[in-house]
Amino acid sequence: MKVAFETLGCKVNQYETEAMRALFVDAGYTPVSFDEVADVYVINTCTVTNLGDRKSRQMIRRATRKNPDACVVVTGCYAQTAPQEVSAIEGVRLVLGTRQRDRIVELVQTLPKEGCQTVVETITHNRDFEALGVELYHDRTRAFLKIQDGCDRYCSYCIIPYARGPVRSRPLDEILTEAKRLRDNGCRELVLSGIHVASYGKDFSDGTDLFSVIDALEGIDGIDRIRMSSIEPIWVNEKLSEAAKKWHKLCHHQHLSLQSGCDKILKKMNRRYTTAEYEKAVLRLRELYPDIAITTDIIVGFPEETEEDFLETMAFAERIGIAQIHVFPYSPRKGTPAAQNPHQVSGPQKNDRAHRLGALAENLHQRFLKEQCGKTETVLFEEKQEGFWIGHTSNYQKVYIRSNQNLSGQLVPVTIKEPFRDGLSGGMIDAEE
């Protein structure tokens, strides 16, 4: 039996797809690419924006067109928040929300001959972390390690707390066991992933928190790098400054979510920091790691955002000198407070602001890339493509070099030359060739 997977959205979704892939492989299924004819298609969906829903539906239809007799399984956040809508799509046989994925093979093998089965739990009061483990990332030196699920922040534009439920942290011993298994399978870099990683440990009573996780991973030989997925200013505090003195593996890249550079809009978004607090966090990170790359997400066209508010965001992003900005035109999500705000910004205005901020983001990124040139950086090489070995620096810049050596999974010091493709070109320090 052949099974194919398509994953939309975040690192947590990618992690969960890897886990579901392993369950099917253990049950004797052969994974094939999503473009091939398969007996089972699993679409792990995203609902963070309307576009996420639309792309999820496109993938579902692509699967049913590829093999009308296939068993199409739709799981993830869109399935969790809109099960009726998903089960009504022709060809869908199983709708599985953001829980019970450990039962996916059993559910597929016991499906009734006809119709669509829906297995979607109410998630708002769920307190257990779902034990979906990953042992091996096929031929990866860098692995996502899910340590947390859910979010209690309820930012006014966000549907995620309704799709993922409250904060659930993974027991520390389980995290360490999986980290060692991934290390034994060749992973040298772990990306700590979750829906709201900064909330890790919030549901524990013994004081275990995100610092405890990094402290423990620092002690595992063979794990050379620890990368954070996305973090918030609340975590960038005095405790981090103290802890960072003894850490050697934390990568010099932080995706520090901003969303807006205007305090009025941050308040309306129900974000829990001001621009001054955000800037303080950036300055602290730069003091700890002078070569750090700070990347972020910014929403433009949030309800009630005026041209002046938007210009404040542009000025703030430029002043902070953010290395990379992911720009999102505001997408009203049914069921969120912001979607009910009568003062929505028009589509053309949103697109215009996204275009202007996008141009600024490109300038800031090019400026950051140029600042890397001439430096010596250690690169973890992951793959070879078109004669280039490709890997990432600690501050998450993609580096391309030519070498006859097998650099797969190697941490190598490289001289950074110039911007190249979507990254930088580099040269080996002591090139033998």
**Interface residue list for ligand SF4 (CB under 6 A):** 151, 153-155, 158, 160-161, 195-196
Q: Which is nearer to ligand SF4, 134 or 195 (CB)?
A: 195
Q: Which is nearer to ligand SF4, 329 or 423 (CB)?
A: 329
Backbone angles phi, psi at 189, to 5 degrees: -125, 130
Q: Which is nearer to ligand SF4, 195 or 414 (CB)?
A: 195
Quote the least distance from Cβ 268 to ligand SF4, whole Å: 13
Q: Which is nearer to ligand SF4, 291 or 297 (CB)?
A: 297
- Taking a C-beta distance cutoff of 8 angstroms, is the pair 399, 393 a contact? yes
Report the 10 Å Cβ neighbour count for 242: 10
**β-strand 117-119 against 71-76: which pairing, if any?**
unpaired
Quote the least distance from Cβ 151 to ligand SF4, whole Å: 3
Quote the least distance from Cβ 197 to ligand SF4, whole Å: 10
Supply 373's token pair: 């040139």
Q: Which is nearer to ligand SF4, 47 or 75 (CB)?
A: 47
Please tell me the number of Cα atoms within 13 Å of 351 on its side-chain side. Answer: 3
Q: How far apart are CA 53 and CA 335, in angstroms?
A: 14
Closest CA to 206 of 171, 240, 243: 171
- Ordered DSSP codes for 12-42: HHHHHHHHHHHHHHHTT-EEE-TTS--SEEE
Q: How far apart are CA 328 and CA 299, in angstroms?
A: 5
Q: Which is nearer to ligand SF4, 303 or 426 (CB)?
A: 303
Cα angle, residue 237 at apex, residues 198 and 256 outer, rounded to 5°: 50
Q: How far apart are CA 160 and CA 333, in angstroms?
A: 10
Quote the least distance from Cβ 257 to ligand SF4, whole Å: 7
Quote the least distance from Cβ 39 to ligand SF4, whole Å: 35
Quote the least distance from Cβ 10 to ligand SF4, whole Å: 9
- Taking a C-beta distance cutoff of 8 angstroms, is the pair 302, 331 a contact? no
Question: What is the b/e burial string over 79-117, where b = at least 16 CB atoms within 10 angstroms of the residue's CB?
Answer: bbbbbeebbebebbbbbbbbbbbeebbebbeeeeeeebb
Q: Which is nearer to ligand SF4, 49 or 397 (CB)?
A: 49
Quote the least distance from Cβ 157 to ligand SF4, whole Å: 7
Quote the least distance from Cβ 150 to ligand SF4, whole Å: 9
Q: Which is nearer to ligand SF4, 23 or 195 (CB)?
A: 195
Asked whether the CA dihedral 125, 84, 46, 70 is positive or negative, the reply is positive
